[in-house]
């Protein structure tokens, strides 16, 4: 396998794992929210809390992804296996 294929597979796999992690975090957040909130809550408040849980799940998955990539880049020489996604402009 060449560097470009490694890069494409890595981006695809990382994106899938990031979405799965976001869904897991959102499910956990909604489960915790349903345990805490009363059953007769206003739909407006419930919608606002759902948006907050969603945004926290997105932020949490981004944070975990960032930390994972940082840890991986310390252990693995990424330049050896992956093609640079963004190259510098030649003038």
Distance between CA 36 and CA 63 in Å, rounded? Answer: 25
Residue 89 lies in a domain: no
Residue-averaged pLDDT of the chain: 85
Residue 87 lies in a domain: no
Residue-range definition of the domain harbouring residue 34: 3-75
Residue 80 lies in a domain: no
Which tens digit of pLDDT belongs to each residue from 22-63? 999 999 999 999 898 888 888 899 899 999 999 999 999 999
Residue 85 lies in a domain: no
pTM attached to this predicted model: 0.76
87 pLDDT band, cuts 50/70/90, is low
Sign of CA dihedral 78, 83, 87, 91: positive
What's the total number of domains in the chain?
A: 1
Q: What is the mean pLDDT of residues 70-89?
A: 73
Residue 90 lies in a domain: no
């Amino acid at each position: 396998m060449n560097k470009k294929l490694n890069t494409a597979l890595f981006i695809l796999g990382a994106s899938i794992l990031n979405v799965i992690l976001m869904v897991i975090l959102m499910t956990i957040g909604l489960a915790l929210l349903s345990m805490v909130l009363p059953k007769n809550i206003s739909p407006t408040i419930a919608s606002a809390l759902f948006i907050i849980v969603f945004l926290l799940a997105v932020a949490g998955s981004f944070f975990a992804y960032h930390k994972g990539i940082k840890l991986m880049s310390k252990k693995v020489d990424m330049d050896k296996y992956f093609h640079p996604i963004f190259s510098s402009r030649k003038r």
